């Protein structure tokens, strides 16, 4: 099955391809679609669906979208759906990580709990399929690791003894929010 990934994020596109082995995942660029879908939803589900619907309408073939983010308990769930825009325009991944660490300077270790959340939505002529994955961790006091992207350098998973940026791609894909959501999605598609 050929599916357009409704993202311009090369890291997400790579992870889609690594995890969804039974699908031909193509980028918006490969499909000749240059659309930036505004994420006006207030939930991961809403934003994921907005993106998948827009790309499906533009291309006419199944489109898969992901909306994901980091929800930090001590920050009342922030940055949440605004994870990629945390701190406003002009901040890159490293800048957002530094802002997060600054906002958590005085938070004690036992209150640094967080989770990554990912919602996958596929829109096709056959309807809509949605899958959600989460992974639990804590926010480190400093970045560690060279792999991954986004908040991976400060997202520490106790049961593995490392941040998601210290994991190999295969290790991360096996336990990450996106990996879990894509596996659930794959099972739902196989069940059709």
List residues with catalytic annotation.
67
Burial degree of 33 (CB within 10 A; 0-12, 13-18, 19+): middle
State how beta strands 2-5 and 63-72 pair: parallel
CA–CA dist 12, 18 (Å, integer):
10
Phi, psi of 133 (to 5 degrees): -135, 150
From 69, 54, 56, select the one nearest 151 (Cα to Cα).
69
Q: Crossing angle, helix 10-19 and helix 177-190, to 10 degrees?
A: 50
């Amino acid at each position: 099955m050929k599916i357009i990934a409704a993202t311009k994020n090369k890291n997400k596109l790579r992870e889609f391809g690594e995890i969804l082995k039974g699908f031909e995942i193509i980028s918006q660029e490969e499909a000749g679609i240059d659309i930036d879908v505004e994420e006006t939803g207030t939930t991961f589900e809403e934003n994921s669906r907005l993106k998948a619907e827009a790309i499906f309408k533009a291309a006419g073939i199944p489109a898969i979208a992901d909306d994901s983010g980091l929800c930090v308990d001590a920050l009342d769930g922030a940055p949440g759906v605004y994870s990629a825009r945390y701190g406003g325009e002009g901040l890159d991944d490293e800048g957002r990580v530094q802002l997060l660490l600054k906002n958590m300077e005085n938070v004690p270790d036992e209150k640094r709990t967080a989770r990554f959340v990912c919602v996958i939505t596929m829109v096709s002529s056959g309807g809509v399929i949605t899958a959600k994955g989460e992974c639990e961790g804590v926010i480190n006091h400093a970045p560690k690791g060279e792999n991954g992207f986004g908040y991976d350098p400060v997202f520490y998973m106790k049961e593995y003894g490392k941040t998601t940026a210290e994991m190999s791609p295969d290790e991360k894909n096996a336990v990450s929010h996106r990996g879990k959501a894509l596996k659930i999605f794959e099972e739902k598609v196989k069940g059709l």
